[in-house]
Structure 1
Amino acid sequence: MADETPIITEQRGPVTVITMVYKPYNLIGPTLMIPLQAALKDAQKAGSRAIVLRSGLRHFSAGADLTLFGARLQQGSSGTANPDGWSRIDFLKEVELLPIPIVASVHGVCLGGGVELALVCDYIIASSSAKIGSVESALGLHPLMGGIQRQVQRVGIARAKEMSMLGRRYDAATLERWGLINHVVPDEALEKTTMTVAEELANGPTVAHAATKYVAYIAANEGVRAADEAMDKLQEPIWASEDLKTGLASFRQNGPGLAKFKGR
């Protein structure tokens, strides 16, 4: 296993597809997350305009790599929260503020840390047979990588506590109804629909999308007033973008919805 790559990256036009293949179950930990972090940065440097995060295995992710918990247990409450040297908080913030839309494409089971990974993406699409849940309570834990607070943001405090305290596996349709995930499709339509959404995002005004992500991040974490105060500064790159000029010119000539943006 040490010789196998945990991720595969493929470029499909303006969309970077990152496929997790960390056998057997894409367990969440530094072995998978550090290469994923690097792949996300590489996609940004390469000028990608949207990213798909998916699994090439039977499941999206079965949760955390439990072998990593040994050192933390030995250290107890006096030990570092990151004995493996990998900062979960830095990773979460980096993904959430990456100036490119990220679509999580979920199939199979998506549990524990897998849910938390999906929650830092901008759009979650799941197959109808997917089973999704924050199951850490079965181990005597709760979500360790930001899952609780991001569940609160998406579905409210009552549902967030239900998910993390009962530790159930939910069908995708239920979580779509709650607002935890964006869209559920038949299993056979997952890949095609994922790419349709990703391509739509990639063909949009990339500079504006980056600003949208940042304003949303501030609103969710610091409140609407803070987002209002940051808004003018965050919108400055939009006013300087080629896409805005293109969009305005297209609107005048052809009406709304026909602009062809270049992402700059």
Structure 2
Amino acid sequence: MIRLEHDGAVGVVTLSHPPHNLIGDEFIERYCTAQDDAVAAGARAILVRSDLRHFCAGADVKALGPGDDGAASDPAAVLDRLESIPVPTVAAIHGAVLGGGFELALACDMIVAAESAQVGAVEVTLGLVPLLGAIQRLVARAGPARAREITMLGRRYRPAELERLGVVNLVVPDDELEEASMSLARQLAAGPTVALGVIKRVVNIAVNNGTKAADEALSGELATMWASNDVRRGTKAMFTDGPGTAVFEGN
């Protein structure tokens, strides 16, 4: 269902739940656990991909909906768990990326898309709203007007349009998706892991609580960053070999 492998410092989380990677409670738990396990094993970046025809064609609504006792999954708890991952995450999307699949991608820090992918928040066609944070994450990426359009109309979009709107970071030919997404993940994994973790947290705070809260949070994060070995490596390399020459070890 979910497979975790390692490519150097990149944790590769592969969705493999035939036929279409439909999301349910067990799928979500295994997905979150795979990311936790990747970090615990020393991954400095995570690449999320699928080895099926589609990245993820949506959710098994019956599996995510209220059970016999009327209780349903808590999306806030799932999203908090995903966004607490301290290393950069990259989604490599192709095929159908619909509903919950789109939301898995939006919960990652960056999205690389194959140009033929079909992407959309289609829950409204079932009389539902996106259950795993698409509305608010689209507001953060594309603004409220576009978030309303994408979620209210339930259309399928080509990645090039979503790249123009700021929802997708990079669109590549289908046969270049694997190489391009892994290249980006490796670049992030080779970066200063402590500093990248600070950036993740400050961005999330700015989105959720505003610029003032992010300013205050940054002040509290600086001591950890300045104490990191990566800062010492980076500054030493700058003065001896020039900017951009440091080799970071992620601590």
Aligned residues with identical type, % of pairs: 49
Q: For residue 63 of structure 2, what is the aligned residue in structure 1?
A: 68
Give the counterpart letter for 2:219 in structure 1: D
1:233-244 matched pairs, under 5 angstroms: 233-244=220-231
2:20–2:52 Cα contact (<8 Å) kept: yes
Structure 1, unpaired ranges of 5+: 1-5
1:9 aligns with 2:9: no
Whether contact under 8 Å (1:124, 1:182) holds in the other structure is yes
Partner of 1:80: 71
Moved more, 54-63 or 23-32: 23-32
Q: Is the Cα contact below 8 Å between 2:25 and 2:63 reproduced in 1?
A: no
SS in 1 for 2:171: strand
Q: CA deviation at 1:60?
A: 0.5
Residue 187 in structure 1 maps to residue 182 in structure 2: no
| Aligned with 2:242 (options 255, 258, 261) | 255
TM-score, with normalisation over the residues of structure 1?
Answer: 0.92
Within the candidate set 6, 18, 22, 2:17 is matched to: 22
Q: Displacement, 1:91?
A: 1.7
Render the CA deviation track for 1:109-149: whole Å, top value 9, x for unaligned.
Answer: 10001111111100100000000000011101111111101
1: CA distance, partners of 2:100 / 2:160: 20
Runs of 4+ aligned structure 1 residues displaced above 6 Å come to none
Q: Report whether the alignment pairs 1:208 with 2:195.
A: yes
Q: Which residue of 2 aligns with 1:3?
A: none
Q: Deviation at 1:32?
A: 1.1
Offset of residue 68 of structure 1: 2.0
Q: Secondary structure at the match of 1:170?
A: coil
8 Å Cα contact 1:97-1:217 kept in structure 2: no
Aligned alpha-carbon RMSD (Å)? 1.2
Aligned residues of 2:64 and 2:72 also touching (Cα < 8 A): no
What is the Cα deviation at residue 43 of structure 1? 0.9
Match of 1:110 among 97, 102, 109: 97
Match of 2:186 in 1: 199
Does structure 1 residue 43 correspond to structure 2 residue 38?
yes
Whole-Å separation in 2 of the counterparts to 1:27 and 1:240: 43
Could you say which residue in structure 2 is the equivalent of 1:157?
144
Structure 2, gaps ≥5 residues long: none
* Cα offsets for 1:63-94 (capped at 9, x unmatched): 1112225645x77xxx4342xxxx32122112
Shift of residue 47 of structure 1?
1.0
> Is 2:114–2:177's contact at 8 Å kept on the other side of the alignment?
yes
Identify the match of residue 125 of structure 2 among 112, 123, 138. Answer: 138
Q: What CA distance in whole angstroms lies between the structure 2 residues aligned with 1:32 and 1:238?
A: 35
Query: 1:148, 1:160 within 8 Å by CA — same for their partners in 2?
Result: yes
Count residues in correspondence: 251
CA distance in 1, matches of 2:32, 2:65: 24
Return closer, same or farther for 1:251/1:70 CA change in 2, 3 Å cut-off.
closer
> For 1:228-248, what per-residue CA distance to the aligned partner results, in whole angstroms no more than 9, with x for missing partners?
111111222111100000000
Could you tell me how far apart the structure 1 residues matched to 2:94 and 2:161 are? Answer: 15
Distance in 2 (alpha carbons) for counterparts of 1:158 and 1:209: 30
Q: Separation in 1 of the partners of 2:198 and 2:64?
A: 37
Aligned mates of 1:168, 1:98 — CA distance in 2? 30
After superposition, the Cα gap between the structure-2 partners of 1:51 and 1:70, relative to the gap in structure 1 and judged at 3 Å, is: closer
SS of match in other structure, 2:138: helix
- Report the Cα distance in structure 1 between the residues aligned to 2:96 and 2:205, rounded to whole angstroms: 31
